[in-house]
Amino acid sequence: MNPIIKQAIDFTDTYIQHQNSPKAIREAMCYKAQYPALLQEIRDGDMFAGRRTDKRIAYIGSVWWFGMPGYSPKNRVEGKQGGYCFDFAALYDLPQNSDEKEALKKLTAFWENECTTGKVYQSTEMKDGVGFLIANNLDKLVSKGLPGLVEEVTAMPESDFRAGLIMVLETVMDVCHHFHRQAMAKGMHEMAQNVLNITKHAPKTLAEALQLILIYELLSHEKHYELNQLDVALGDLYAKEVHDQATKEKAINQIHCFYKMIRENGEVGVCRLFLGGKNRRNQENADRFIEAALLAEQRHKDVIPQVSLRIYTGMNPELLTLAYDTINVTYTFPTLFNDDTIPAGAAEVFGISLEEAEKSYYPLGCGELILANKSPAFLCTAWNAPQTINDGIRAANATNFEELYQSVLGKIREYALRYARYHKLLEEKNNEDCAYLMVSLLTDDCIARGKPLLDGGARYMGACIMGHGFTNGADSLTAIKKVVYEDKTHTLAEIIQAMDANFVGYEHLHKTLMAVPKYGNDNDEADKMVSRLWRDMSNQAQKAGEEYGFDFLTVSSVNPGGYWLGMETGATADGRLAGQVYAIGNAPTAGQDKNGLTALMNSVIKTDPVNGGTMTNFKISRSFFVDERAKFEALFGAYWAGGGLQANITIMNKGDLEAAMKEPEKYPHLLVRLGGWTSRFIDLDRYVQKEILTRTLY
């Protein structure tokens, strides 16, 4: 029998044997049945151990997010799952004989009712995402090491949670010994010593620390690495080892190999590596590591990990220069976040102190803000802002714009409560099923409280709604305000009729709506409408979250979900036609920013910093970057000083995108930024390529 199927049977038998055991014990036993069985062998040439298998069937997933397309035979894709998982596509694409098919039929029938996703879907009509994310405390992991974590857990009072934590740490140790044996058999003595050493003491070298992080993140996050403050965790070890060019080169090579392992294990679109920021405990040493990390990224030049840098007034100016140089080499990385502006907004939206916000804010996944190692973040719903606007204007009986806006606000309340209710269900169902032991170990304050992170252990409990299409929704409101209530050239009923007809037969009205000022051109009315809409959606989300017991429920604008949501949504009053993609993240509709880069920046600067995460794309020509570098740096310097929150800067040659669409085989290296993630341009769907192509190139 296929060993993957055999492992799935063994895992399922373990689950059944412990089905009525406390969740922490069941989970720990299932981890033992899963690892190291689901890990690939070390390969010749590897510097580090820790490669996941390409195929799993029944398993316990780490923290995860989103839905499970494979739940239905109509769309046989494994999907992203959290908790107890099953690949329902296996029945259709894996069996090679009747015995294997019969075994998979039995497994499928069992897990339809037992997988965490299935339990969630049985409880609600809203079948969206099912899991959550959290960033581990890597500084604690490196400083304590596995033996230190064992010592900390052993000191806890007796409980099922404590017993589960000890067993899962034993599994991590087993994995290390498994890789030690493999490395010795292959004659890889340095790797063998590193994986053995991390079972005996906290890392004493950069290589040991990188190895520990790779194994721990693989077992706790699988495809979705979230590497917060890596410079803080590794800076001291780096500074101790690097004292000349030779040792610096060795360290850069180690970091590059670390990146390559993440690229193999991780999933495109996620896997963020976050560096820099104010008030780090070891700023000088951490900055030295950042330099090496950026130089390693210049060699790596791949879509993941998504290297990101927090910048601020007073930081080492050479690091910002190096960051810009690295963006030029890699096309998009590092993405940049402004610590002079974001922490104050994060403090307000999370209801915490500025000091805690500076230390803990973290844009995970595609850039949604969370509190690293302090709160799980449920990122499981997509809020279609233009559709909410459409619903609101259709329900309105308004004689003025404010009455219309109140109708829209009523729909916003409805959606906010719906999403809060769903997120609460996810919290409850995930907590019923799992203790999430691996991430509980590195989440404040689970050990001190003696509780899993979803069961009262985590310091905070929060969620984030992924908002899409704010620009189109706000531009629609601006257009209605201008055309219906100020100029009074058309009625609201006429606009609705035109939208229903996709503006066919209403070409003059369409032209009028398109002529109304749009976000991205430094027009106060248009820009403030975006901020107002987003702030009101955020306020209503927070109120709804409070009703359901969350410490915070935020709304982000970071993701490329505007591509598929736009394709599913009818025409909107900003002049957008049915099926056209939305503006992506906190950016103008592609091609509608017509007044230059300064005007675009002035619009973006007006963004309210009290939000759940924001991404803004800037497409810059390489000729401008190279030939007018001083002007480039002056413009972005003014942008940061003025309060710009974030920037995804893509640097490319004029004509590259057009050429790549015609001859993709010649442009495998061309990377582009979507909303919160980076992709090879040639790997994108045609409609996504066209949206990127129509973005203004400065």
| DSSP-derived 3-state class of residue 408 | helix
Q: Supply angle C-alpha 233, 464, 342, rounded to 5.
A: 55
Q: What is the pLDDT of residue 296?
A: 98
Beta bridge partners of residue 555, listed in sequence order: 465
For residue 83 the two structure tokens come to 């908790």
> Per residue in 543-553, is it b (16+ CB within 10 Å) or e — as a string?
ebbeebebbbb
User: pLDDT for 348-358, tens place per residue?
Assistant: 999 999 999 99
- Going by C-alpha positions, the residue among 287, 312, 151, 141 that lies closest to residue 221 is 141
Q: What is the pLDDT of residue 599?
A: 95
Answer yes or no: are the C-beta atoms of 62 and 221 closer than 8 Å: yes
Under the phi-then-psi rule, with left for phi > 0, alpha for psi from -120 to 50, and beta for the rest, what region is 187?
Answer: left
CA distance 631 to 651: 15
CA distance 295 to 275: 13
**DSSP states along 314-362:** TS-HHHHHHHHHHHHHHSS-SEEEETTTHHHHHHHHHT--HHHHHHHEE
| DSSP-derived 3-state class of residue 363 | strand
Residue 639 CB neighbours (<10 A): 23
The size of the chain, in residues, is 698
Q: What is the pLDDT of residue 64?
A: 63
For residue 37 the two structure tokens come to 């069985």
For residue 494 the two structure tokens come to 């006429």
For residue 29 the two structure tokens come to 């036993």
Backbone angles phi, psi at 205, to 5 degrees: -135, 160
Q: What is the pLDDT of residue 76?
A: 40
Single-letter residue type at 286: A
Counting as low any pLDDT under 70, the low residues of the chain are 64-81
For residue 476 the two structure tokens come to 């629609």
User: pLDDT for 570-620, tens place per residue?
Assistant: 999 999 999 999 999 999 998 899 999 999 999 999 999 999 999 999 999
Q: What is the pLDDT of residue 124?
A: 85
Q: How far apart are the first and last CA of the chain?
A: 58
CA distance 253 to 259: 10
Q: What is the pLDDT of residue 74?
A: 47
Q: What is the pLDDT of residue 67?
A: 44
Answer yes or no: are the C-beta atoms of 167 and 219 closer than 8 Å: no
Q: What is the pLDDT of residue 55?
A: 83
For residue 406 the two structure tokens come to 């109140």
| DSSP-derived 3-state class of residue 195 | helix
Cα dihedral sign, 414-416-417-418:
positive
Q: What is the pLDDT of residue 75?
A: 44
